[in-house]
Amino acid sequence: MKRDEKSLAEFRLGWRGGSVWLILIVVAAWGVRPGTAATMKPGAPAIAAPASEEEPANALLAAEAATIDLFDAASRSVVCIRTFSRHVEDSAGAVHELPLGAGSGFVWDRQGHVVTNFHVVDGAEQVEVALADHTHWRARLVGIAPEKDLAVLRIDAPAEKLEPLPVGDSSRVRIGQTVLAVGNPFGFDHTLTTGIVSALSRTVDSPSGVRIHDVIQTDAAINPGSSGGPLIDSRGRLVGVNTAIYTTSGSSAGVGFAIPVAAVVRTVPHLIRHGRIVRPTLGLALAPDALTEALGLKGALVLSVEEGSEAARLGVNGSTRDEMGRWNAGDLIDTVDGSAIRSSGELLDWLDGREAGEVVTLELYRGGERRTLSLVLAPPSVLPATLPPVPQEIPPSGTVE
């Protein structure tokens, strides 16, 4: 052994020996002090302080008990949704159902209405809803709002089986407050995850390509199958509908999004009553926000103008494509009645609170020139239900599911 190595070995041995004596001396000193705790034999397990007679040893903390109570109450409202397509397989014409997917939802009222995401039921020919008591019910599609990623189903379950969630106020939600998500991730029904509100006023794409604004961001785990489930606050009130995750791997990365309950409260009554959102119209169709951004623009881009509408009479221009498939931008609306408009989604949100017959003032850009138009909002009319798809040449930095 080299000298340096020997010295190091001696040092280690001497240090360990010194440590043993030091520990023994300290323990001995503690042992003779009056009123101190008794010494323990080496290797003996630690003994917890005895629980008081009022509090059992396995008692839950107050915060834990509160979370359990919240879950017990909310889970009675949460449903599991399974979707199917019909498939004719044999020459006899026998119809077989093929599973399409699964998601979550929650009971809206005792009339059997269930709220979920539009993308959960999109393309389904049959929908099945499982309540918390594990009874299964065929569901009818009542209404859809692709631009909000919301849909309403209805089941014929008895009222006593239906437990609506209390509705909160998303305008009072604050960053840092506790939120809970209940859903069916990966088919594991009635799963609870907890977290906080990570951010507010986020924007995500709806299935129709229109941006959804004022979205709540949370780090409560939201995974495939959680979509459509409720996001609740620490009082058990609905504050959002879980709609998407931002991920590069296909599973939760701690960035989830929920549609604010304010948008849900505005939308659901329309879907129950009319099957769609009924709002006054400007007489034009708006481009998907991703297309507007791809063109380097900010505002509500006019995609097409309804023939015979007041917008057509006033000369509002829609967008066109050339022979190479490149977009030529039409009029870009950026202000309505003095309110700044950053996207098509914001203009639709603005229209939600208006009535047919109102006169509105539009400020728009056309070929670099600013124009101001006043027009009368018309009653709802039939416009294209599906906006053009987002151009494939715009790659997302992550995927939204």
Q: 187 falls in which pLDDT band (50, 70, 90)?
A: confident
* 138 CB neighbour count, 10 Å cutoff: 11
Among the ranges given (90-94, 178-182, 382-386), the one the predictor scored with the smallest mean pLDDT:
382-386
d(CA 77, CA 99): 24
Q: Is 129 exposed, middle or buried (0-12, 13-18, 19+ CB in 10 A)?
A: buried
pLDDT for res 69: 87
* Catalytic residue (one of 77, 104, 113, 149): 149
Q: 134 an active-site residue?
A: no
Closest-CA residue to 274 (of 204, 379, 137): 379
Closest-CA residue to 289 (of 215, 370, 208): 208
* Catalytic residue (one of 170, 198, 227, 344): 227
| 225 touches 186 (CB < 8 A) | yes
Closest-CA residue to 261 (of 231, 236, 234, 235): 231
Task: Using the predicted structure, report yes or no on whether residue 37 has a pLDDT greater than 50.
Answer: no
Task: Using the predicted structure, report yes or no on whether residue 169 has a pLDDT greater than 60.
Answer: yes
In degrees and rounded to multiples of 5, residue 260 shows phi and psi of -65, 145
Residue predicted with more confidence, 302 or 209: 302
What six digits make up the tokens of 324?
């190479």
Q: 213 an active-site residue?
A: no
d(CA 313, CA 305): 10
In degrees and rounded to multiples of 5, residue 294 shows phi and psi of -65, -30
* Catalytic residue (one of 113, 119, 190, 213): 119
Cα angle 47, 50, 51; round to 5? 135
pLDDT for res 278: 84
CA atoms within a 13 Å half-sphere pointing along the CA-CB vector of 329: 21
What six digits make up the tokens of 43?
């290797």
Render pLDDT for 208-246 as a digit per residue (tens, 0 to 9): 666 788 899 998 888 888 899 999 999 999 999 998 765
pLDDT for res 2: 45
Q: 234 an active-site residue?
A: no
Q: Which domains does the chain have, with CATH numbers?
A: 73-161 (2.40.10.10), 170-274 (2.40.10.10), 284-400 (2.30.42.10)
d(CA 369, CA 315): 14
Buried b (16+ CB within 10 A) or exposed e, 65-94: eebeebbeebbbbbbbbbbbeeeeeeeeee
Q: 160 CB contacts (<8 Å, ≥6 apart)?
A: none
| 290 touches 390 (CB < 8 A) | yes
Residue with tokens 């504050």: 239
Task: Using the predicted structure, report yes or no on whether residue 288 has a pLDDT greater than 50.
Answer: yes
Residue predicted with more confidence, 58 or 314: 314
pLDDT for res 383: 41
Residue predicted with more confidence, 272 or 47: 272
What six digits make up the tokens of 285?
């169709």
What six digits make up the tokens of 136?
């299964």
Among the ranges given (19-23, 311-315, 341-345), the one the predictor scored with the smallest mean pLDDT:
19-23
